[in-house]
Amino acid sequence: MTDQPLTTVMTVADGVARITWSPGEPVDVVRREVAAALMTHARVEALVDPDDVSGQRIATWSGMRREGIMRGLTIEGAASDRIVYARLASDLPLQEPEGFRAILNSFLPRKRAIGQMLMRDGDDRVLLCQLTYKQDWDLPGGVVEVNESPRQGVTRELEEELGLTIAAGELLLTDWLPPWSGWEDALCLVFDGGVHDASLPERMVREEREIRSVAFKTLDEVRELAADFTTRRIESALARAHGHGSPFSESGRF
């Protein structure tokens, strides 16, 4: 006798059910079981193998949102990763546009955004920060927070780390950063911070936990102090500030 696809629901904690299904189970069956479980539970979750593309599709179209990856679970005696999907009783119905968008938003790719500012003095030297958590120098700025615009993010970073209130000007460069040394890929947006008096670093209030020193540097000094990809980005942003080059680069290269 051929085994039939099977869906099971088990309570794993107070108000939490975990659903599993065998390969070949129709999506509508899993969706019905999720809905039924939510009649008596606040949350229904599923743990899906990252290599199980079909299982990920079933979890998604049965109304569960992707929440992240649980690493190193012991499954059948071996350490394995599992993608966590879940649906809450309070989640909006799939047939409502906002509910459907929330499902899509949970698994579509997301990019890290970094906001930086190109600030120069009258001799076209570039303001660089010597950071406490890495050896090479970099432009002022940092990672943009969730629901924060890149322009707001770089302005906030300057206020927090340098005690400066300078509005970000024109977007000079969007630089795509490929995956590197444990980091996933990201987009770095370099804004024009204008031209300032050479004494500006003396008036800054550094966040000493992150910034060792700040100084205007010539392009030759940038090449000595910054990582090669940072140097390329600065060169590209400088070119844009002088009306040359492309507004988009990949690791600083046009």
Based on the fold, state whether residues 207 and 89 are members of the same structural domain: no
Packing angle of the helix pair 97-107, 53-61 (nearest 10 deg): 160
Can you tell me the distance from the alpha carbon of 17 to that of 2, in angstroms, rounded to the nearest whole number? 28
pLDDT digits (tens, 9 = 90+) for 94-104: 999 999 999 99
Query: Model confidence over 114-163: pLDDT tens digits?
Result: 999 999 999 999 999 999 999 999 999 999 999 999 999 999 999 999 99
DSSP per position, 155-189: HHHHHHHH-------SEEEEEEE--BTTBPPEEEE
Mark whether 71 and 45 lie in a shared domain: yes
145 in the same domain as 38: no
Question: For residue 126, which of 202, 201, 211, 176 has the smallest C-alpha distance?
Answer: 201
- Within a 10 A sphere around the Cβ of 220, how many other Cβ atoms? 8
Nearest CA-CA partner of 10 in 33, 28, 29, 32: 33
Are residues 112 and 180 in contact, defined by beta-carbon separation less than 8 angstroms? no
Structural domain containing residue 209: 112-250
The percent of residues above 90 in pLDDT, for the chain, comes to 93
Q: Please count the structural domains in the chain.
A: 2
Digit-coded pLDDT (tens) for 39-61: 999 999 999 999 999 999 999 99
pTM (two decimals): 0.86
Segment 14-40 shows an average pLDDT of 96
Checking if the pLDDT of 1 tops 70, the result is no
Average predicted confidence (pLDDT) for the chain: 95
pLDDT per residue as tens digits for the range 158-216: 999 999 999 999 999 999 999 988 889 999 999 999 999 999 999 999 999 999 999 99
Q: Do 23 and 126 reside in the same domain of the chain?
A: no
